Chains A and B, each alone.
Chain A
Amino acid sequence: MESVVKGKIKIYSTAITAIILLILGIIISVSVGIADVDLLMVLKSFFEINPSKEQLIIQTLRLPRAIIGALVGANLAVAGALMQAITRNSLASPQVFGVNAGASFFIVTAFALFPSLSSPSLVFSAFIGAAVGGITVYSFASGGGMTHVKLALAGIAVHFLLSSLTQGIIIFSEQAKDVLYWLVGSISGKSWTHVMIILPWSIVGLFISLLLSRSISILVLGESTAQGLGQRVNHIRILAGILVIILAGSSVAVAGPIGFVGLIVPHIVRRLVGGDYRRIIPFSALFGALLLVYADILARFIAYPFESPVGIVTAIIGAPFFLYLAKKGRNIKQ
C-alpha cells in the first residue's frame, strides 16, 4: 500500500516537474532570438493591446513557433508510443516505420506537381503518404512475428526506396529543390496559420489516444488476455493505426519529417512511470513537447545567427540512442 502511494507521489512530482520545465522551455524559446527581448517584456506581451515591435515579434513569430514545437513533439511521441504498443516492438516509431518517409515523399511530389497547392491540402497528401509508408512496412514486418531486425530492415528498405524517389524528384524539379530544408524537419518561421493547421488534428488525435489508453494497456498484455477481457483486438489496432497516421502525418505536413522523437520519448517515459499506457500516453505527449521545444532552442545556436533545422538536433540526440537500443534489443528478445 505504501509503495502504491509512493508511486503516485513519484508520478505526480514527475508530472509537475515536466510541466514546469515545459513552461520554462516555452518562455526561453520565446525570449531567445535575434531581437533582444527581456523576460518582463515576454510576460507583458501576452496582455498588451497596443504592442511594440518586440512584442509583435513574440506574439506573431516566436509564440506560434514554440506552440508548434510543443504540438509536433507531443504528436510524434504519442504516435511512437502507440506504435510500440500495437507492434510490441521497442524499435517502432514513425521514422523507423516509414511513416515519415512516406509523408515526405507525397509532400515533395505534391510540391513538384502542384506548386500552388494550399497548406491544408498538403496535410492530406501527408496522411496518404504516412498511411502508404506505414502499412507497407507493417504488412511486411508483421509476417511471422515482428522481430526487431525484421522491422528495422523493412523500415529501412521502404525508407530507402521513398527517399531515393524523393531525391530523384528534387534533382529534376527546380521547385522541389526548395523543400530540401524542409526535408530535415524544421519549425522555424512557422506562424499562427500553421498552428491552426495542426491544432485540430493534434487535439483529436491526442484526445482519442487518451481514451484508448486503457484498451491499449490491456492489448500490450497479449492478445489472448485482451480477448479474454473482452477487447476487440483488431478494432483497437486499426484505430491506433489511424491515430498514428493522423498524428505523424499532420506533424510532417507542418514541420517536415523530424526524426527520433517518437522513438526516444516513449522509452524515457516508460522508465519514469512504468509500463501502464494510461500513464505512458499522456506523459509521452508531455515529454515529447518538452524535447522538441528544447531541441528547437538548441537549433538556433548551432549556426548562430542563422537557424539550423531542429531535425538535425533530434537526430544528433536520437541516433546514438537508437544505437543503444539496438545493442540492448538483442538481450530483450529476438
Chain B
Amino acid sequence: MNTKQKLLLNRNFHPNLVLLVLLIIILILSIVSLGLGAIYITPSEIIRNFIGEETQSQRFILNNYRLPRIIIAIIVGAGLATAGAILQGILRNPLASPDVIGVTKGAGLAAVIIIVLFPSSPIIFLPLSAFIGAAIIATILMLFVYKKGAQPNTLALVGIALGAICQAGIEYFMIKFPDNVNSTLLWLTGSLWARGWEHVYILLPCLILIPLLIGLTSKLDILSLGDDIATSLGERSKFLRYILLSVAVILIGVCVATVGSIGFIGLIAPHIARRIVGSKFKVLLPASALVGAALLLVADSLGRGLFPPLEIPAGIITAVIGAPYFLYLLRSERKKA
C-alpha cells in the first residue's frame, strides 16, 4: 500500500465507511470461498442454491461443510485479531499476540495430552481441555505478575517463559507417543478441516463479549496513554488491565479450542487495521476483527482450494502469509526507531 492510498484511507473517508468496505470484502470472500474446494461450485450456482433452486448434492456440501467453516473462520479470525489488538494495547507493545504470551501454548499442551493419553475420549473434550489449558496458563501468568502490578514488560516476559515450559511439555509427549504425532501436529498448526455446526455453537457464546468490548474500547484508548496519565484521569489501570486480559484470554481460549493454535492472525491483523484506520481503539478494534476474519477466510479457502482433495492446514497458510508481512513490520519498526 503506498502513501497516497494510506492518505486516502486515513483522512478522506469516515472510519465507518472503511468498516463497511471491509464488511463487503468479507461478504465477497465468503461467496468465493463457498465455491472453492474439491468440488468447485460457481458463484452463480451458489446464489441459485441460496434462493431455493438447488442441486441436492451441492446444497449438502454448502450447508454441511462450507457454510459452517466460513462462519467459524470469520468468528475465529475476528476473535484472535481482537485479542491481539487488546494485548498490544495493554502491553503497549506492537509485537504482543496470543502466541507470545504463552496462552496458545498452554492450550496446545492440554490438547496434546488429550490427543495422546486419551485418544478415544469424546470429541468435546479436546476444545474443553484446550480452553482449560489456556485458562490455567493465564491464571499462572496473572498470579506471577500480580505483585509487580501487572507491568506490561513483566507480563510479556513471563508469558514467553511459560510458553517455553509448555513447549517442552508438548515435545515430551510427542516423543513419548510418536504414533499420534500427525494428529498432534495438525492440531498444533491449526486447521478448519471437518469443523461443522457443533463447533459454531461452541463459538457462539463468544458473541456475548461484544457489548462488553464496546464498553471497554474507550478505556483501552486511555490505557494506551500510559499508566500515569490513565491514573490521573481517574482510571484504575491495574484493574482494567486484568479485565481486558481476561477478555483476551477467553477469546483466545475459545478460538484455539475450536481450530487449534493458528498463528500470526492475532499479530498481524491489528497492524494492518492500524494502517488503515489509525490507532483509536474505538475503530481499531472492529477493524482488526474484520481484517482478522478476512485473513483466516482467505487462508482456509486457499488451503482447501489449492491442491484438492488434499488440504493444507490453515495455520500453515497464515504463517506463509503472515511471515513476509511480519518481516516487513520488522523493517519499518526499525526505521521508526
Contact = CB atoms under 8 A, between A and B. Distances in A.
Interface of A: 91, 136, 139-140, 143-145, 147-150, 152-154, 156-157, 160-161, 164-165, 167-168, 170-171, 177, 180-181, 183-184, 259, 303, 308-309, 311-312, 315-316, 318-320, 322-323, 325-327, 329-330, 334
Interface in B166-209: 167-168, 171-172, 174-176, 178, 181-182, 185-186, 188-189
A145 B334 CA distance: 10
B95 A180 contact: no
Contacts of A259: 164, 168
B316 A168 contact: yes
A153 B171 contact: no
A318 B165 CA distance: 9
A152 B181 contact: no
Given A312-B175, A330-B153, A320 B165 contact: yes
22 contacts: A136-B327, A140-B330, A140-B334, A144-B334, A149-B152, A156-B100, A156-B163, A157-B100, A160-B99, A161-B263, A167-B188, A177-B182, A184-B171, A184-B175, A311-B171, A322-B161, A323-B162, A326-B160, A326-B161, A327-B157, A330-B151, A334-B153
Nearest to B329: A140
B333 A327 contact: no
B246 interface: no
B316 A153 contact: no
Contacts of B185: 167, 170-171
Contact of B334 (A139, A148, A167, A322): A139
A184 B172 CA distance: 8
Given A139-B334, A312-B171, A153 B153 contact: no
B158 interface: yes
Given A152-B156, A168-B313, A327 B337 contact: no
B189 A168 contact: yes
> 5 tightest CB-CB pairs across the interface, nearest first?
A144-B337, A315-B168, A326-B157, A143-B334, A323-B161
A139 B157 contact: no
Contact of A143 (B157, B178, B323, B337): B337
Given A171-B189, A316-B168, A154 B95 contact: yes
Given A149-B156, A157-B100, A140 B333 contact: yes
A164 B312 CA distance: 13
Interface centre among A157, A168, A170, A329 (most CB of B within 10 A): A157
Contacts of B178: 180-181
Interface centre among A136, A143, A183 (most CB of B within 10 A): A143
Contacts of A145: 337
Given A171-B185, A171-B186, A181-B175, A319 B100 contact: no
B96 interface: yes
A154 B172 CA distance: 25
Interface residues of B, number: 54
B189 A149 contact: no
A319 to B, nearest CB: 4
Given A149-B153, A156-B160, A315 B334 contact: no
Contacts, number: 146
Given A136-B330, A148-B153, 14 more contacts: A136-B327, A143-B335, A145-B337, A164-B263, A165-B316, A170-B185, A180-B175, A308-B175, A315-B165, A320-B165, A323-B144, A326-B160, A330-B148, A330-B153
B330 A139 contact: yes
A40 B226 CA distance: 68
Contacts of A157: 95, 97, 99-100, 267, 326
B319 interface: yes
B278 interface: no
Contacts of A139: 330, 334
Contacts of A143: 333-337
Contacts of A156: 99-100, 160, 163
Contact of B326 (A161, A184, A326): A161
B100 A153 contact: yes
Contacts of B330: 136, 139-140, 154
B326 to A, nearest CB: 6
B16 interface: no
B138 to A, nearest CB: 15
Interface in B260-277: 263-264, 267
Interface in B87-105: 93, 95-97, 99-100
Contacts of B327: 136
B63 interface: no
A168 B319 contact: yes
B164 A322 contact: yes
A153 B333 CA distance: 13
